Chain A
Amino acid sequence: MKFVDEFRDKEIAEGLIQRIRKTSTHPIQLMEVCGTHTVSIFRYGIRGILPEQIQLISGPGCPVCVTPNGDIDLAIALSRQKDVIITTFGDMMRVPGSTSSLQKEKADGRDIRIIYSSLEALKIAKEHLEKKVVFLAIGFETTSPTIAVAILRAKEEGLHNLFFLNSQKRVPPALIALLQSKQVRIDGFILPGHVSTIIGTAPYQFIAKEFGRPAVVTGFEPLDILQGIWMLVKQIEENRATVEIQYRRVVHEEGNPIALSKIYEVFEKDESRWRGLGLIPDSGYRFKESYKEMDVRNLEVEVEPPKEHPECLCGEVLQGIKSPLECRLFKKICHPENPIGPCMVSIEGTCFTYFKFQ
């Protein structure tokens, strides 16, 4: 397959591994921030072919996983209203809230629909003017531009029955929180390719400048990842710390200005609550004044108090402090058929990936 097979070539992979082996002289821990990287690393068996002194730690880069319980409970409470249609990306369905999940609510007859694009929510709203249509706006900077466009369109078309449960997240402030917490040693970051397509490299400069750590924006094919790791190892061995781009074919320093302008037309930066990481300044968005009427948090609905399984380690796993293998629930009580925490639900969740590939 064009543009894919070139990045899965065995001989080039062997060459890169040789270079990594030759260059790397001491033990290091690299964090792959993005869940898609975690999946690729397991899918191609990359951990097993790296020299032992290079440890990869999975980061908080799965939007479903970092969504706080309270937001899922809010979605569930909304779905129980008679005049509400919930629209959502599929991976939110099985995420356990405090006492239920959207999947269970759907089985109980609530109108919950899986969609593939935020614009489909717009279409459903137009077809059901008598109902309140709520879109669960979950995602990182990659998803936010399309959510912003749906909001702009709804405004243009004068739709008054479309609402957004805004739980969007911004990646760079979470990395600041991780570096500040010092709970886990991170010698370098494999930065997310797609988020960076939108935001460029400027928002990551603090990693090198303030914390003295190297970072490489990396693609998702096995050769991308191996090359990204090699670039990090080289920086570390040469005592350098800069933000580099491996994923040149997609990512530019300035990001995507049009996409960014759409986001900031509708939203402004705001603090946001992350599962595991808590409240992080500037790590989310709030609606600007002129779009506030689409914020679902304006609707009055009674939400149950949030409750999490006391032994679930999703929070620690998201920060790279613990591996899923250290969780007492992992594979015993918590498995994809009965997920206790969100990291076991999403196909990009660290626990799910460990369950599937380890």
Chain B
Amino acid sequence: MSEEKILLAHGSGGKLSHDLIKQIFLPQLANPILEPLDDSAEIMNREGHLAFTTDSYVVNPIFFPGGDIGKLAVCGTVNDLSMIGATPSYLSLSLIVEEGFSIDLLKQIISSIHEVAEQAGVNIVTGDTKVVEHGAADQLFINTAGIGWIRSGVNLSGVNAKPGDKILLSGHLGDHEMAVLSQREGFKFQSELKSDCAPLNDLVRKMLDACPSIRCMRDPTRGGLATTLNEIASMSNVGIVIEEEKVPVRESVRGISELLGLDPLYLANEGKLIAICPPNEEEHLLDVMRDHPLGRDAEIIGKVTEENRKKVILHTLIGGHRILDMLTGGQYPRIC
């Protein structure tokens, strides 16, 4: 392909579209289900319940420390499947590209999709590319949908939390939103801040192997830990108490949050999960999480209570307490 930029014709369905598929997508993403390039992927049916999810990715900037829009598009969908106890298997990949986008950058993004899909053990089995006029989209938007099979006997719905249950968090909060924000706004903080963007399916598998009675699981993405816990408190009609001193936040994220007036409890994460488990299982589950590279910094951060139903209470560092509400008013747009 001689052009260095994406042209409207790359989305025409004609010769250039085919070139794009053959020269950029297939070399990285090929697998027996994708390769026929038919109008739909043909997937063998299996026993059990199917999980199906979709998400669109409009992150700005499209490259950020620790990842890019491609890696995010795979991880986000893999994690959505994982959070209901499904084993992610197949993903669709739809691109909306702005005319004039660099083909080299597109190659880099496809290559990172390939890498993380392989790490997560999922195949891209169908896809689409549209090109829109300059200014009609900002560089590149991606949509992925995903299919997975739910482990039998597993039910991780947000309605399952019960008073007495313990709440675990798999690691530091806020890395993703802070990395994207710092990159976008050109803050020159001297820090090694990186997005935590990662596929959580392997961690979830090990956690469910060790503790099949986990009540629910969520990945605290947009709206952060505070919003996710509020959703669970509300769905399960229980109270939740969190100990501020137990919640892991990196020095760099805390520092920048202080500076910008942001609260790490509301920052988006792309490679963290919270799990709620029955009492007396938390220590074992914590050990299992800490054995996994993505759960090394896991902590037991709080518990589910009978009182204060549908509310999340934070015990503050100095011994006070306050209500931790859902995110209102949005912190920053286009973080994923």
Residues of A whose CB lies within 8 Å of any CB of B are: 1, 4, 8-10, 13-14, 42-49, 94, 116, 222-223, 226, 335-337, 347, 352, 355-358
Across the interface, name the chain B residue whose C-beta is closest to A36: B261
Residue B329 interfacial (CB < 8 Å): yes
Residues of A within 8 A of B319 (CB): 10, 13-14, 45, 49
**Chain B residues positioned under 8 Å from A116 (CB to CB):** 185
Task: Please tell me if the beta carbons of A222 and B318 are within 8 angstroms of each other in the complex.
Answer: yes
Question: Does B235 make an interface contact (CB < 8 A)?
Answer: no
Q: Report chain A residues within 8 Å CB of B245.
A: 10
Instruction: With CB as the reference atom, state the residue of chain A lying closest to B321.
Output: A45
Would you give the shortest CB distance from B140 to chain A, in whole angstroms?
23
In contact, A45 and B322 (Cβ under 8 angstroms) = yes
The answer, yes or no, to whether B254 is at the interface (CB within 8 Å) is yes
Partner of B320, one of A9, A46, A337, A356: A46
Query: A336 contacts B329, CB within 8 Å?
Result: yes
Residues of B119-152 at the interface with A, using a CB-CB cut-off of 8 Å, are: none
Best-surrounded residue of B245, B254, B316 (most CB of chain A within 10 A): B316
B258 on interface, CB distance cutoff 8 Å: yes
Contact call B317/A1, Cβ cutoff below 8 A:
no
Distance in Å: Cβ of B262 to nearest Cβ of chain A: 9
Residues of B within 8 A of A94 (CB): 329
Q: A73 vs B323: C-alpha distance in the bound complex, in angstroms?
A: 35
Q: Which of B254, B258, B322 lies in contact with A357, CB distance below 8 A?
A: B322
Instruction: Note all chain B residues with C-beta closer than 8 A to A4.
Output: 254, 258
Contact of B325 among A44, A45, A222, A356 (CB under 8 A): A356
Interface residues of B in 297-336 (CB under 8 A from A): 314, 316-323, 325, 328-329
Binary interface encoding of chain B residues 150-166 relative to chain A, with 1 for a CB under 8 A from any of its CBs, else 0? 00000000000000000
Residue on A nearest B332 in the bound complex, by CB: A90
B322 and A337 contacting across the interface, CB-CB below 8 Å: no
Docked pose: A335 CA to B261 CA in angstroms: 20
Chain A contacts of B329 at CB under 8 A? Answer: 94, 336-337, 352
Q: Closest CB-CB distance, A72 to chain B, in whole Å?
A: 18
Please provide the chain B residues from 10 to 43 with a CB less than 8 Å away from any CB of chain A in the complex. Answer: none
Structural contact, A335 and B328, CB atoms closer than 8 A: yes
- Beta-carbon nearest neighbor of A17 in chain B: B319
Q: Which 5 A-B pairs rank lowest in CB-CB distance, beginning with the nearest?
A: A45-B320, A336-B329, A13-B318, A336-B328, A45-B322
B255 within 8 A of A: yes
For B55, the chain A residues whose CB sits under 8 A away are: none
The answer on a CB contact under 8 Å between B316 and A43 is: yes
Tell me how far the C-beta of B186 lies from the nearest C-beta in chain A, rounded to whole angstroms. Answer: 10
Within 8 A of A (CB), among B195-237: none
Tell whether, in the assembled complex, residue B255 and residue A1 are in contact, meaning their CB atoms are under 8 Å apart: yes
Docked CA distance A9–B329 (Å)? 31
Whether the pair A42, B322 counts as a contact (CB closer than 8 A) is yes
Q: Is the CB of A8 within 8 A of B323?
A: no
Q: Which residue on B lies nearest to A116, using beta carbons?
A: B185
* Min distance, Cβ B266 to any Cβ of chain A, angstroms: 10
* CB pair B317 A357 closer than 8 Å: no
Q: Which residue of A lies closest to B262 (CB)?
A: A347
Residues of A within 8 A of B254 (CB): 1, 4
A355 touches B328 (CB 8 A): yes
Q: How far is the CA of A47 from the CA of B319 in the complex (A)?
A: 11
Contact of B251 with A by CB under 8 A: yes
Evaluate contact between B328 and A337: CB separation under 8 angstroms: yes
Take A336-B328, A356-B328 as given contacts and tell me if A8 and B317 are in contact as well, using a CB distance cutoff of 8 Å: yes
Partner of A49, one of B261, B263, B318, B328: B318
A356 to B316, CA, bound (A): 15
A223-B318 contact given A1-B251, A1-B255, A347-B261, CB 8 Å threshold: yes
List the B residue with the shortest CB-CB distance to A41.
B320
Specify the chain B residue showing the minimal Cβ separation from A48: B320
Residues of A within 8 A of B320 (CB): 44-49, 222
Kindly provide the distance from the CB of A275 to the nearest chain B CB, expressed in whole angstroms.
Answer: 20
Contact A44 B316 (CB under 8 A): yes
The interface residues of chain A lying within 8 Å CB-to-CB of B258 are 1, 4
CB-defined interface of B258-270 with A at 8 Å, one 1/0 digit per residue?
1001010000000
